[in-house]
């Protein structure tokens, strides 16, 4: 179809709806050409002016795997900020850099290859249900509500707010019930209850689809109720498209469609796998299988119309991105390359790193380091390690600051800073005598930069030193590090333990041996500078844990048990080492005067409440106030505590702030055994504080949560 007056093909008419343009373009393709567009590496169709395009790009915590970019903290670190505004600004920076790099690549090369496009397969909103999972570092933690709030902010920042064009297209992955073990992801069948599916595993995906309008959803490798997720009518059609109204396109995880016949035994061969996936609504295949779609047509498994409908969805995304429009019409096409790694984004990476760091212990307020501190000894395998800044799916640049570099930059003149690695990451030293132990007793403080690195945890095949395809068999620090810390303590060292990791580390007896503990995750390019500023008091720690740190491996159910029974703060009865939501500060926050406007609430009506929070210390700081709800007696299993709100609050010394909050009827609902949200009359308890409700948090130095009860009738 063409415009009668201009002979312009309809698909190039920018005044027409994007879906109509996509449909017109696809109608001009031969079957062979259509099939060439059904995998992530879509081929060029020169006669229609379609360049080659690869849909696979990564933006988990910065533009990934494509050279220079700002490197923000790994997603689990950004989750520890509990700051949706910050995450929106970070994602805006990522998508802005992605746009600049995309257009510069087109100008230089004429097309893009893998990791150079505008379809970013991020964020990962799977639930970090078990701390052994190597890919947990990519997630936003163990809580469905926190994951949804942070993930939605990320999507809004990635996709922008232009009424006609997406800045980039974001992707909610991996749908669904996907969270390790990595070595079973191609074979396992997740037989969770309908209640667990809708209570834990799906809420974040729903939030991103229904409220953030995420453009792409990626299916997981595993099966759910016996059917591979990338061919699940329940997941793709019934829930995603019909119930939630998803209008974007659905992509498989890479190689997932080949798993149908190779590992799941769900189909007999590759042709059937292709046909079953497409018929179920999987629009795009990553790397495999869809080249066999013509054979699937011949067998009667699908029709060419099925291919057309999927292509309309993927091409609608490309039209929304302005890929077939004059550059002067696309508002993002003029973004200059000097935004990539710019000072503004560098400062944003620094802010994110500072806010992500969680102070877990601070005996006798050894931190921040005092002016009298003259002799600092820095040890550990992560002190000068670049890898521990990065995490997985990362970009690179020439301004990344290690812990050692940050400390040397920040230490005032007259303060002696000495460094020796001391301990290797996961191997015992071969030296018969360790000179690094001799300097520690004389130092005022020893900064021990320990923990993990991506070689110890990550995706299947990424973690080179992991025995379980990227997952962790132990939650403890590697034995060489434990032994080394003990040797330091025996010699009288006063240790500030800095833990780099993408998942919880169990310290055991080391917790009592060291003076302070700070969890810094994989903090990105400014991690060393942010750490130094926190240690020296130029910045105050304000991060909160987005995942429970268990006291031991024995507290966890079997890794391959996907039931939520005794998992996460919501259902576990165990006493953790550090609770979900926990994090100390250099000041003391007090909560008081929790007031409910009503104690008897009518069904369907909201509850208004307010509480006061005071900075009772002498340090300006930020606190993350958290609101939880308990349904005292429901007709089925419900969380013992459910996060329903949080707010990051900046307070001057002595300042008090009154915080209002509305408990909506939706927050009072629970998921019944059929997977449906219902509202039941009964008694409820509201909990307000600086952590999830836990006596352990009180023992570690936080005020007990305020509580108040109300009845719903």
DSSP 500-565: E-SS--B-TTHHHHSSEEEE--S--TTHHHHHHHHHHTSS------SS-B-S-GGGS--TT----T
The β-bridge partners of 70 are none
pLDDT at 686 over 80: yes
Report yes or no: 555 and 89 within 8 Å, Cβ to Cβ: no
164 pLDDT band, cuts 50/70/90, is very high
pLDDT at 4 over 60: no
| Rounded average pLDDT over 189-198 | 97
129-133, 257-261, 426-430, 518-522: range with lowest mean pLDDT: 426-430
pLDDT at 468 over 90: no
The β-bridge partners of 506 are 476
The per-residue pLDDT for 630 is 98
- Element of type H or E holding 348: helix 343-356
Each residue's pLDDT tens digit, 631-651: 999 999 999 999 999 999 999
Helices 144-159, 84-109: axis angle to 10 degrees equals 40
Q: Tell me if residue 215 falls in helix, strand or coil.
A: coil
Could you confirm whether 211 is annotated as catalytic? no
Tell me the CB-side half-sphere exposure of residue 680, using CA atoms within 13 A: 16
DSSP 237-305: IIIIIIIS---SEEEEPTTHHHHHHHTS--SSSHHHHHHHHHHHT--BBSSSSGGGHHHHHHTTS--HH
| Rounded average pLDDT over 512-520 | 99
Distance CA 94, CA 69 (A): 8
Tell me what the pLDDT averaged over the chain comes to. Answer: 97
Tokens of 275: 């046909």
Question: In 371-390, which positions are buried (b, 16+ CB within 10 angstroms) versus exposed (e)?
Answer: eebeebbbbbbbbbbbbbbb
Q: Selecting from 2.60.40.10, 3.30.70.1140, 3.40.50.1700, 3.40.50.300, what CATH number does the domain 357-547 have? A: 3.40.50.1700
CA distances to 208, 210, 253 from 247, in Å: 12, 10, 19
Catalytic choice (142, 199, 351, 457):
457
Q: Selecting from 3.40.50.1370, 3.10.350.10, 3.30.360.10, 3.20.20.300, what CATH number does the domain 10-29+41-217+232-244+304-329 have? A: 3.20.20.300
pLDDT at 455 over 70: yes
| Rounded average pLDDT over 281-286 | 98
* Residues shown for the chain: 713
**Alpha-carbon 437 to chain mean position:** 38
339 exposed, middle or buried (CB, 10 Å; 0-12, 13-18, 19+)?
middle
CATH homologous superfamily of 589-712 equals: Immunoglobulins (2.60.40.10)
CA dihedral 128, 130, 136, 137 (to 10 degrees): 100
Q: Is the peptide bond before 339 cis (omega within 30 degrees of 0)?
A: no
Could you confirm whether 526 is annotated as catalytic? no
The β-bridge partners of 661 are 609
Catalytic choice (184, 253, 459, 622):
253
Helices 18-27, 304-320: axis angle to 10 degrees equals 130
Comparing CA positions, the residue from 548, 347, 505, 395 lying closest to residue 74 is: 395
| Rounded average pLDDT over 104-130 | 97
Distance CA 114, CA 55 (A): 7
3-class secondary structure for 287-298?
CCCHHHHHHHHH
3-class secondary structure for 622-649?
EEEEEEEEEECCCCCCCCCCEEEEEEEE
> How many other β-carbons are positioned within 10 Å of the β-carbon of residue 582?
26
User: DSSP class of residue 155?
Assistant: H
> How many other β-carbons are positioned within 10 Å of the β-carbon of residue 351?
19
Phi, psi torsion values for 656, nearest 5 degrees? -115, 135
Phi, psi torsion values for 237, nearest 5 degrees? -90, -55
The per-residue pLDDT for 159 is 99
β-pairing verdict for 249-252 and 223-224: unpaired
Helices (H), 15-60: 18-27, 31-35
Tell me the CB-side half-sphere exposure of residue 68, using CA atoms within 13 A: 14
CA distances to 44, 229, 325 from 10, in Å: 20, 36, 12
Q: What is the largest CA-CA distance in the chain?
A: 88
The per-residue pLDDT for 7 is 79
The per-residue pLDDT for 431 is 87
This prediction has a pTM of: 0.98
Comparing CA positions, the residue from 134, 174, 149 lying closest to residue 473 is: 134
Percent of the chain with pLDDT over 70: 99
Domain ranges in the chain? Answer: 10-29+41-217+232-244+304-329, 357-547, 589-712
pLDDT at 201 over 80: yes
3 pLDDT band, cuts 50/70/90, is low
């Amino acid at each position: 179809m063409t415009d009668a007056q201009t002979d312009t093909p309809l698909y190039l008419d920018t005044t027409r709806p994007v879906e109509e343009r996509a449909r017109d373009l696809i109608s001009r393709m031969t079957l062979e050409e259509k099939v060439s567009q059904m995998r992530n590496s879509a081929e060029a169709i020169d006669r229609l002016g379609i360049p080659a395009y690869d849909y696979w790009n990564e933006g988990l915590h910065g533009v990934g795997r494509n050279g220079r970019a700002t490197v923000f903290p790994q997603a689990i670190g950004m989750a520890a900020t509990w700051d949706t505004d910050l995450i929106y600004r970070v994602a805006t920076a990522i998508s802005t850099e992605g746009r600049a790099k995309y257009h510069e690549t087109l100008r230089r090369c004429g097309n893009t290859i893998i990791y150079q496009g505008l379809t970013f397969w991020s964020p990962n909103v799977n639930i970090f249900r078990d701390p052994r999972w190597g890919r947990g570092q990519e997630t936003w933690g163990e809580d469905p509500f926190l994951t949804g709030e942070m993930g939605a902010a990320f999507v809004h920042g990635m996709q922008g707010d232009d009424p006609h064009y997406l800045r980039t297209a974001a992707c909610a992955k991996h749908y669904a019930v996907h969270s390790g073990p990595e070595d079973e992801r191609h074979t396992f069948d997740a037989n969770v209850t309908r209640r667990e599916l809708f209570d834990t595993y799906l809420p974040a995906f729903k939030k991103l689809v229904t409220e953030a309008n995420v453009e792409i959803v990626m299916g997981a490798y595993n099966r759910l109720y016996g059917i591979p997720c990338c061919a699940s009518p329940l997941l793709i059609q019934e829930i995603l498209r019909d119930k939630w109204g998803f209008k974007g396109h659905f992509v498989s995880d890479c190689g997932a469609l080949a798993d149908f016949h190779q590992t799941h035994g769900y189909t007999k061969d590759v042709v059937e796998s292709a046909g079953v996936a497409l018929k179920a609504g999987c629009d795009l295949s990553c790397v495999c299988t869809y080249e066999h779609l013509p054979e699937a047509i011949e067998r009667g498994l699908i029709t060419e119309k099925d291919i057309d409908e999927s292509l309309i969805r993927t091409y609608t995304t490309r039209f929304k991105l302005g890929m077939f429009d004059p550059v002067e019409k696309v508002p993002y096409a003029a973004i200059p390359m000097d935004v990539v790694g710019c000072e503004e984004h560098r400062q944003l990476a620094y802010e994110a790193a500072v806010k992500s760091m969680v102070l877990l212990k601070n005996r006798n307020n050894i931190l921040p380091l005092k002016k009298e501190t003259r002799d600092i000894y820095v040890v550990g395998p992560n002190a000068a390690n670049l890898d521990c800044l990065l995490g997985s799916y990362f970009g690179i640049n020439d301004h990344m600051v290690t812990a050692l570099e940050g400390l040397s930059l920040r230490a005032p003149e007259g303060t002696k800073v000495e460094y020796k690695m001391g301990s290797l990451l996961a191997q015992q030293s071969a030296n018969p005598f360790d000179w690094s132990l001799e300097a520690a007793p004389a130092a005022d403080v020893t900064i021990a930069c320990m923990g993990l690195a991506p070689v110890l945890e990550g995706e299947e095949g990424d973690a080179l030193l992991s025995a379980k395809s990227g997952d962790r068999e132990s939650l403890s620090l590697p034995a060489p590090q434990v032994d080394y810390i003990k040797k330091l303590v025996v010699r009288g060292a006063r240790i500030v333990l800095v833990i780099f990791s993408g998942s919880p580390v169990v310290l055991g007896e080391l917790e009592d041996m060291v003076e302070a503990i700070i969890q810094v995750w994989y903090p990105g390019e400014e991690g060393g500078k942010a750490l130094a500023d926190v240690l020296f008091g130029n910045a105050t720690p304000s991060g909160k844990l987005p995942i429970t740190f268990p006291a031991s491996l024995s507290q966890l159910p079997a890794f391959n048990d996907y039931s939520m029974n005794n998992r996460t703060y919501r259902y576990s009865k165990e006493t953790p080492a550090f609770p979900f939501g926990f994090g100390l500060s250099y000041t003391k926050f007090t909560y008081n005067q929790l007031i409910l406007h009503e104690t008897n609430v009518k069904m369907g009506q909201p509850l208004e409440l307010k509480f006061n929070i005071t900075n009772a210390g002498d340090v300006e700081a930020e606190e993350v106030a958290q609101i939880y709800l308990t349904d005292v007696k429901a007709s089925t299993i419900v969380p013992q505590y459910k996060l329903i709100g949080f707010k990051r609050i900046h307070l001057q010394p002595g300042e008090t702030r009154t915080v209002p909050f509305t408990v909506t009827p939706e927050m009072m609902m629970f998921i019944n055994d059929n997977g449906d949200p219902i509202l039941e009359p009964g008694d409820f308890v509201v909990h307000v504080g600086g952590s999830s409700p836990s006596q352990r948090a009180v023992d570690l130095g936080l005020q007990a949560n305020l509580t108040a009860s109300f009845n719903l009738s």
